[in-house]
Each structure stands twice: as structure tokens, then as C-alpha cells.
Structure 1
Amino acid sequence: MKLIYNFSMILSEWLMPILSLISSKIRVFWTGRKNLFQNLIEFREKNKQPLAWFHVASLGEYEQAKPVIEALILKRSDLQVVVSFFSPSGYIPIQKKKLKELAYITYLPLDTPANARKFVNLMAPEIVFFVKYDFWNNVLHEIKRHGIPLYLIAASFREGQPYFRQKGFFRDQIFYFDHIFTQNTKSLSLLDEIGYTAHTLAGDTRFDRVSQTAEFAASFPDLEKWKSEDPVIVLGSVWQEDMEILIPLINQKRRYKWIIAPHSLDPKPMESWRGRLEGDCEFYSKWDKQAPCEILFIDNVGMLSSLYQFARVAYVGGGFGKGLHNILEPLGFHVPVFFGKLANSRKFPEAKISQEKGCGFEVASFAELVAQFERLEEGKHYHTAVKSAKMWVTENTGAAARIIGKLTKLEKRL
């Protein structure tokens, strides 16, 4: 299996320049990695301090890492933190933000044996964290070969994943980790079943992150004035499939003000939706604040997580498509949340739990959305949902502190 894997990685690297000519996504993926090693060499020549390396797949996993990064820096102020991304959808927005807690961000190279050796040697980290998943066999092998402490945080495993079906290539990757911090007890049970016992139930660091976001939400005086005393509904990371049931709701519920933050900033879908909406619409970037406006389209990146502070209720998109976006963001503000019917609910356990807690509401159609929405318009049901959201978030914060507490016992240098 390892020979097949390595051959596929080497072949992928060889084909990337050709495929990038015909695919814009592959072009972004490939061109972003062109000077990866040279840039890393230059960074390490100028920055020789001890280094903590976090690897994440994309933006969502970075958000899970961030509370641990912040707690680690408080514990070890001499550590520089480097984050590697696999996906451009995570790397690009974080690169633009230039976050002060990060000394450096980079793409992870394709996982060939040669690339893995070179990358780990250049990085020379004191400690390494992988977040949730996105395992790369050769990189993990090199980290282990160098004897560098390797941890997995925010792990959330499911039955049927290759690690638990049979021994061999995939399962071996689990045993590269010195300790695994899981989000839930199910993950602990699955690890126990394969004989991996170096684990701790820490919880989901996203609760820490959304609690921090709610506590230190960005200020938007223009939106405060626009909102006034009116109830606002925030539609976050919505796709076309979501808007098919949301547009009729917006047209029906004209007493609300609406904030729409699409998943994509492509103006064509937004213009199309605008043409079907009956209320006065504005794009945030072109907003004439003196003009009447019931519906605001957020046509920029970085605002959404703080916009939920204005919401009475929220809708989070992606459920009807490839994957649900982060429903914990509105719940961090104790805002009840709707989302589309999930094709694979096992991949998003927080969706099921939110329904059990009474603060999340899955809808499969416009009729279901209206019924659930109107139920929450009743004060009794609304306040119960808000209370449930608050309790659930409060009960689950502290995962980062638990991880750092355990690491302090495992790593004398911490």
C-alpha cells in the first residue's frame, strides 16, 4: 500500500504543472507551492528560535487550532508558531490577515518521501500538532523518525474510517502520534478498539473559539445604527441550494432585516438572488447608508463570525451540499440556528447534538423552514432555544486549557 501511495504522490507532483493549465483550482494549489522550500529556508535563516508547528487542512481546522495556539504562547512565550495549510481556501485568507500570533504560514508540500524529508528538516520544530485529520503518511513518518513530539488535537473519528477497518497502512498513521486529544467519547472508544490508549477527552476547541469571538466581537457602528430596534436574521455561508428556500422566507417575513453572507463572493449569484427579493437590497461595499435597506449582502471576507451578534436567529449554509459550515459561530452568541438537511449527518455530529439540545433546527424544505421559523417567533420557544444554546456552549468551553494542562505533564519543556 505504501508503494502505491508514494507512486500516486510522485505522479501527482509530476502532473500538477500540466493540470494547472486546464484547472483554475489546481493552478492556485500548484502556484502557491512553487517557492515553498526557498521561502521556508529564508524564514528559518532569520528565525532560529524554538518552533511549534501546527498543520491544518483548511480554515475550519485553523479555527480549532487557534485557542490552543494562544494558550501555548502564554505558556511558552519563546516559541514561534508556524501553521501549514493543505488547502488554498485556508491559506489565502489567513495569509491576508497577517495574524500576530503566527510567525509564519506555509502550504504543506505534496507528500512525496523527498518532500517530507526536506520539509521536516527545514522546519526543525520542537513540537508538532495535527488538527482533527488530514494525515500525510510521509510527513508523519519523518516527524516520528526525528523523535519530535507529535500530537493530534480536536480528533473526531467515525466508524467506517480506514483506520478502524483493518490493520496496515492507514491504521499505522494513528500510532505515529504520541498522544491524541479527542472531541468526544465515541472517538475514545474507537481508539481503544484498535489498542491505542494514549488519549484524552479534551472536547471541541471550536467552543473556545466561538466563545472568544462572541466576547471580543468586532464593532460595526454602521450596522448597529441600521439595525436599530428591528429584529435581524443572519444567513451565513449560504449556497444556491440554501437560498432556494430562504428567498421565499425573506419575501414573506418583511418585518425583519436580513444580512446575507454568501459562501462565495462571486457577484453573479448575489445579483440573481437580489433580482428575486422584494425588499430593498444593498451590497455592503457599495452601501449608501442614507438609502432605505431591508437586506444587506456582505460582499467581503472576514466579517461573518462577528455578524451573528446582530442576529435574533441565524441560518448556516452548506447542509444541502458538500458540507455544513460552522453552526457553532452563531451558537457562541447564544443565537438559535437553522441549517439544511444533511446528506451525511455523521460528519457533522454538532448538528445532531444541537437538535437534541433544542438550539439547532434542521430543515429539508421551505415548508419545514417556515414551520420551524414561526415556532421560534413565539417567545416561549425562542427563549428556551436561546437558553439551550447558552448552556451547551458554556458547558463545552475549556478544551484548550485541558489540552495544555495535559501537555504540561507530558512535555517537561512546557
Structure 2
Amino acid sequence: MGIRLYRAAAGFAAGVGNNKKAVLWLEGRRNMWPGLATAMEGDQPVVWVHAASLGEFEQGRPVLEAIREQYPGHRILLTFFSPSGYEVRKDYPGADYVCYLPLDTPENARRFLDLVKPRLAIFIKYEFWHHFLSGLNARNIPVLLISGIFRRDQPFFRVYGGLFRRLLQGMDHLFVQDEDSLTLLHNIGIQHVTLAGDTRFDRVWALRNNPVRYPNVRRFLHTDNVLVAGSTWEEDEKLLAEWWYNGGRQNRQLILAPHEISEARLKQIETLFPDAVRYSVCGQSTRDAVLLVDNVGMLSALYNYGRIAYVGGGFGKAGIHNLLEPAAYGKPVIIGPVYHQYHEARMLVQLKGAMVIDNVEGLQRNIAALRDEYYYRQTAEINTRFVEEHQGATRKVMDYIQEKGFLTVVQE
């Protein structure tokens, strides 16, 4: 009932509210079945990898690419729940086919599994769809959760959570990020779990070692003294604007990559930053102050162009976004006060690689402190070492797949 109500709400948002994401969410699912049926023709075995959105995809990407390399005779089907993942990665060359995940109903799950017949299913971080997981379990198809993260307030750990606990019990193995998740699962009798760490560390370290270059960005910048503000929300942007126009822009440039890039949001940011230039037209501009990134997918590489990183989200209920990307490049990271639910953020704050601010004065104070070269290098080294030392989650997952014989080397 909840799934069907969600579908109705999406339809309302698309039709009455003219919500772009809702329109994409509906249209992508409406036309998916014929393409999926064609893509799944033939006898080549399939590995199904599912991610909620873009962040989860990037998290699971090291495992997906390791499967592609180690088991080249298998096709990879990549599904997304959210348009923010699918629309950015629908042409991802590492998968043989990319589509939306159908709504989790008994009919859709049965039809999907009849078409795909996966040899192995991999879910990333926290995707738990009852009918799909039940269908996989009934067909004896192995299911792995990778980079799982669990919190005490989730339904699995509530009195009424029996249905949800059975979903976890039906999985073949769960690879979790931290000790808290391991302990929570053990306390409810889930023993088939491994503390593997976070595959994001493998991903961001690979990006560091093979950085993407953007010539337009390099041409736009006339100084190395650059602050890259990524995944920002309205509160972040207001704070940054106050700092920027009260001395912050002196001998400095700012790259601003907001979390949402709708036209309304971009115009709102341009009101705060009148001298902003959108990336899509920056090659035509003679101005050189604020670069406003109006696309998705560049941010992880953009951090490498900065001297300092500001990671947004820390002034909202959801909390900060991914600070491992700038940390891997050895950039000191500044974040807002809402970060405690993220293990890597707590660790970097404790190690003093990330600095927490509550207001614009805190931002000014920390940026001023980072002018000291010794302090700057020390902070940068903390972040680089932290990411480097926490690699290895992908290897643990791949070793388990090989040990269990879920996949075999197939001659193409």
C-alpha cells in the first residue's frame, strides 16, 4: 500500500506540481520494460547491481568495476531508484545496461527477475526492497549488501521490525562500514556480516591517482588560492556569500557546486553572488570571480583545483555530504555542525583534518588559520593518510565472491 501511495504521490507531483524529478521518475519506469527485455536476451550470465542514487553508485562503483575486470564474461545490469542517479549515469560504459528499478510490487519483482535471471545481486549501502529481496531469496540467487550502514533508529532494531529483519536474514552476506553497524546486527542475530569498511575510500583514492582534468576550469582560474564549495544548500550559500563579500574574495577565487542545479536554484545563487559565472558559459566570460557549476558529475574532480574545500549540508537536518573526495586530494575540509551521523566525518574532526564551523566568523577564522603553511601541510597530510589507510573494502568483497564461487570466469 505504501509503495502504491508513493506512486500516486509521484504522479501528483509530476502532473500538478510539474516537478521535474517526479516526471523523470515516472517516465523512466513507464518505458523501461521493452529495453530491459532486449538487453537481457541471450545466455550470458548477469550480475545485477542496484544503487539508490548517484552517491550510492559512486560508493559501489569500485566493486562493479572489479567484477567487470575479474569476470569479463558476465553482463552487468545497473539499476537506480532516483533520477539523480539514472540521469547522470544512464550512459555509464562500465555496465551493459542501465535502467530504473521498477516499483517494488509482487508483479514487478516477478517480471523483473524472470527477465534478468541474475547470477548475483548486489545492493549498495541501504536499499531494502521487500518483494525484490524475497523473490531473490525464493530463487536461491545470492544477495550481497556492500558498504552497509545501520543506525539504532532503523526499523530492523525496533520491536515491530520482524519483517525487516527477515530481509536481512535472507541476504547471503552483509559488508558494513563500521563497528556500530556490526554490533547492531549481531544484537538481532545477524551473524553473516563482515566489517569491511567503506568502498568509497577505494573510489576516491582511485580518483586521486587518476585525476580528471577540466581545461575550462584551469583557464578560468588565475590563482591557486581557491576555495571549492561542494554540495551546498541554501544555508551554506548564504554563509559563503556573507564571507565572500566581506573580505573573503581578496586574492582568492571560489568554485561553487550546489547540491541542486535547477534553474530556480541557480538563479537564487546568482542573486547571492552577482559576479558568478556559470560553468556552461565560462569559456565565453571575461569575468574571473565565482565559478558556478551548473551540472552534476564534476565535483569530485573539482576539489583538486582548490586549496581548501568546504563541504555543504552541515547546516541542515540531513547532514554533510561526501568529504572523502576532497580529503583524498589532501585538502583541508571545512564543514557545518551537523556531521555526527557520519563515521568518517567524526574521525576527521577528531584527527583535526576537518574543521567545524557554526557561523561566518568560524569560516573566517579557519580560513585565516590555514594561511600558515606548516598548519596547512599538517592538515592536508592527515586527510591524505586517513583515506589511504582505509582502503581495502572492495578487495574483501571480491575475495568473498571468489571464495563462494558465486561467479565463474566465463570465456567471451
Q: Give the TM-score taking structure 2 as reference length.
A: 0.92
Q: Distance in 2 between matches of 1:123 and 1:109?
A: 13
Residue in 2 that maps onto 1:261: 257
Q: Distance in 2 between matches of 1:273 and 1:16?
A: 27
Q: Which amino acid aligns with 1:329?
A: E
Contact 1:247 1:273 survives alignment (8 Å): no
Aligned pairs (5 A) from 1:235-384: 235-251=229-245, 252-253=247-248, 254-277=250-273, 280-288=275-283, 291-321=286-316, 322-342=318-338, 345-346=340-341, 348-384=342-378
- Aligned to 1:389, what secondary structure does the other structure show? helix
Residue in 2 that maps onto 1:138: 131
Q: Distance in 2 between matches of 1:10 and 1:353?
A: 40
After TM superposition, the structure 1 stretch with the greater mean CA deviation from structure 2, 385-394 or 311-320, is 311-320
Q: Distance in 2 between matches of 1:283 and 1:11?
A: 38
| 1:102 pairs with 2:95 | yes
Q: Choose from 61, 66, 79 the match for 1:66.
A: 61
Deviation at 1:101, TM superposition (A): 1.0
- Aligned to 2:121, what secondary structure does the other structure show? strand
Q: Which amino acid aligns with 2:399?
A: G
Q: Which amino acid aligns with 2:224?
A: D
Cα distance change, pair 109–274 in 1 and its aligned pair in 2 (3 A): closer
| 1:219 pairs with 2:210 | no
Q: Which amino acid aligns with 2:140?
A: G
Deviation at 1:277, TM superposition (A): 4.1
Q: Distance in 2 between matches of 1:388 and 1:18?
A: 48
Aligned pairs (5 A) from 1:189-200: 189-200=183-194
After TM superposition, the structure 1 stretch with the greater mean CA deviation from structure 2, 16-25 or 358-367, is 16-25
- Aligned to 2:388, what secondary structure does the other structure show? helix
Deviation at 1:392, TM superposition (A): 0.3
Deviation at 1:270, TM superposition (A): 3.8
After TM superposition, the structure 1 stretch with the greater mean CA deviation from structure 2, 14-23 or 186-195, is 14-23
Residue in 2 that maps onto 1:4: none
Q: Give the TM-score taking structure 1 as reference length.
A: 0.91
Contact 2:59 2:124 survives alignment (8 Å): yes
Q: Distance in 1 between matches of 2:268 and 2:51?
A: 35
Q: Distance in 2 between matches of 1:292 and 1:20?
A: 38
Paired positions, count: 402
Deviation at 1:226, TM superposition (A): 3.9
- Unaligned stretches of 5+ in structure 2? none
Q: Which amino acid aligns with 1:56?
A: A
Q: Which amino acid aligns with 1:66?
A: R
Q: Distance in 1 between matches of 2:229 and 2:132?
A: 39
Contact 1:111 1:138 survives alignment (8 Å): yes
Q: Distance in 2 between matches of 1:323 and 1:67?
A: 25
Deviation at 1:303, TM superposition (A): 1.8
Cα distance change, pair 341–144 in 1 and its aligned pair in 2 (3 A): same
Q: Distance in 2 between matches of 1:237 and 1:399?
A: 25
| 1:125 pairs with 2:134 | no
| 1:411 pairs with 2:395 | no
Q: Distance in 2 between matches of 1:390 and 1:226?
A: 27
- Aligned to 2:224, what secondary structure does the other structure show? coil
Deviation at 1:36, TM superposition (A): 2.2
Deviation at 1:292, TM superposition (A): 4.2
Q: Which amino acid aligns with 1:303?
A: M
Q: Which amino acid aligns with 1:241?
A: E
Q: Distance in 1 between matches of 2:406 and 2:234?
A: 51
Aligned pairs (5 A) from 1:24-173: 24=19, 25-45=21-41, 47-95=42-90, 98-166=91-159, 168-173=162-167
Cα distance change, pair 275–107 in 1 and its aligned pair in 2 (3 A): closer
Q: Which amino acid aligns with 1:54?
A: V
Q: Which amino acid aligns with 2:64?
A: I
- Unaligned stretches of 5+ in structure 1? 1-6
Cα distance change, pair 189–331 in 1 and its aligned pair in 2 (3 A): same
| 1:397 pairs with 2:391 | yes
Q: Distance in 2 between matches of 1:228 and 1:212?
A: 28
Q: Which amino acid aligns with 2:208?
A: A
Contact 2:53 2:80 survives alignment (8 Å): yes
Deviation at 1:17, TM superposition (A): 4.3
Deviation at 1:16, TM superposition (A): 5.3
Q: Percent identity?
A: 34
Deviation at 1:158, TM superposition (A): 1.2
Contact 2:226 2:255 survives alignment (8 Å): yes
Cα distance change, pair 168–290 in 1 and its aligned pair in 2 (3 A): closer
Cα distance change, pair 331–193 in 1 and its aligned pair in 2 (3 A): same
- Aligned to 2:174, what secondary structure does the other structure show? strand
Q: Which amino acid aligns with 2:323?
A: I
1:40-66 per-position Cα deviation (integer Å, ceiling 9, x unaligned): 112112x43111001111111101110
Residue in 2 that maps onto 1:3: none
Q: Distance in 1 between matches of 2:77 and 2:225?
A: 42
Deviation at 1:148, TM superposition (A): 0.4
After TM superposition, the structure 1 stretch with the greater mean CA deviation from structure 2, 118-127 or 297-306, is 297-306
Q: Which amino acid aligns with 1:196?
A: I
Cα distance change, pair 224–288 in 1 and its aligned pair in 2 (3 A): closer
- Aligned to 2:277, what secondary structure does the other structure show? strand
Deviation at 1:324, TM superposition (A): 2.2
1:114-165 per-position Cα deviation (integer Å, ceiling 9, x unaligned): 1111111111100000111120111100000000011110011111211122
1:88-129 per-position Cα deviation (integer Å, ceiling 9, x unaligned): 11111111xx12211111111111111111111111100000
Task: Please report the RMSD computed on the Cα atoms of aligned residues, expressed in angstroms.
Answer: 2.0
After TM superposition, the structure 1 stretch with the greater mean CA deviation from structure 2, 9-18 or 311-320, is 9-18
Contact 1:52 1:125 survives alignment (8 Å): yes
Q: Which amino acid aligns with 1:315?
A: Y
Q: Distance in 1 between matches of 2:294 and 2:368?
A: 29
